[in-house]
Chains A and B, each alone.
Chain A
Amino acid sequence: MKKLDRKQMAARVARDIPEGAYVNLGIGLPTLVGEYLPKGREIILHSENGILGVGPKPPEGEIDEDLINAGKEPVTLLAGGAYFHHADSFGMIRGRHLDFAILGAFQVSTSGDLANWHTGGADAIPAVGGAMDLAVGAKKVLVMMEHLTKEGSSKIVERCTYPLTGARCVDRIYTDLAVIDVEPDGLHVIETVEGLSFEELQRLTGVPLKRLATAA
């Protein structure tokens, strides 16, 4: 089977973002999606710190320390972009104005619970940022993560063992092995990577999956 690398995962997610969408990209892997949005589609990126219309990284020498994204990396503003304060920014999120939030995850449960902010370790210093707001607020929550942990166990689980970011909030999971929708009756496999059968994906995942007619 051909596992997707990080860039291929980003490109796969980007393909599903339609013209006109307002989208928040989480820190880390989801940020990469911005580089793969199909040319010619107008998609408006939101950043929690108060930007709509986030543009690409500026060239060296044109960095403005007052213009950064939620990951505190320098960015630019597209024509038509706007700045606003933090309460307005999270009003956009909680008020169901954002079409998509694309988030990383430690675990997603079969009912769409999301765990992505805290390992729960006794000595870990917790930090949550905007993750809980995005999880409950965006119209669609898309998760991007590797399918398996380094030890080979599934990150899609019956019940999250890590502390929750949000309950029943995930709509779709993109992994390096498959695309899976979270539906009221369970997990629907939309597609698998080349060379990976449904049966093998089911074996690796552990929790019950449903095969759609269109999936391999």
Chain B
Amino acid sequence: MINKIVASAEAALADVPDGATVMIHGFGNAGMPAALIDALIAQGARDLTIVNNNAGNGDAGLAALIRARRVRKILCSFPRQADSWHFDAQYRAGEIELELVPQGTLAERIRAAGAGIGAFYTPTAYGTRLAEGKETRSIGGRDYVLEYPIHADYALIKADRADRWGNLTYRKSARNFGPIMAAAARIAVAQVREIVELGSLDPEAIVTPSIFVQRVVRVAPAMMKAA
């Protein structure tokens, strides 16, 4: 019997090695898997490469992982925010590497990894400093920049409901990077509000099919709130 349900967030992340590339779902706090991030901090893996849209807000979640000095490099589109102080301090001190990627290119590089695409041409950033040193090509009169996929060892996802096979549904705009990160990672771990019986998720409404998900952890909503 397939059963991807794991007893705890800690158990789900016990094997993350130092130096791993970890995608962290979420746009701001919407979709941020706080319980999994806390478990990753407790687990202690270091020298991580993190993929997220931002570089942490306030003191919790990804910001706490950065504060704990576990992040060597971050790939994101929008690091600088009013409350990104932990990232800002380490970046200015030269202690964290930043690869700044336009948001749509970030999403497509993640998607490409999960979809087996070797590289792709995008019009975004052509003629700007974010395309400096990159291969370009004119196709049909339009200029494009060559971009490569971003693969990950782990993806930490927050979803709404799951079954024991790992099928996932999301809530509202908290879906954001979840489906593409799950597909791009070797091991996708989903923290979910509720685990339901196999067959009770509407097959027409499953957003991430089980093939993309390796581990599922139920995190009670109250705990999600507090995190």
Contact = CB atoms under 8 A, between A and B. Distances in A.
Contacts of A64: 172
Contacts, number: 137
Given A94-B122, A125-B79, A128-B77, A87 B172 contact: no
A83 B175 contact: yes
State which size class the interface on B falls in. 35 or more
Nearest to A47: B173
A167 B78 CA distance: 21
A85 interface: yes
Interface string B138-180: 0000000000000000000000000000000011111111111
B60 interface: no
Contact of A164 (B53, B102, B128, B173): B128
Nearest to B171: A66
A131 B77 CA distance: 10
Contact of A72 (B28, B106, B111): B28
* Chain A contact residues: helix, strand, loop or mixed: loop
Contacts of A128: 77-78, 100-103, 130
**Which 8 interchain pairs have the tightest Cβ spacing?**
A90-B104, A133-B104, A167-B127, A87-B111, A66-B174, A86-B107, A127-B80, A130-B103
Interface of B: 27-31, 53, 77-81, 88, 91-92, 98, 100-108, 110-111, 122-130, 170-180, 207
Interface of A: 47-51, 64-69, 72, 77, 83-87, 89-91, 93-94, 123-133, 136-137, 163-167
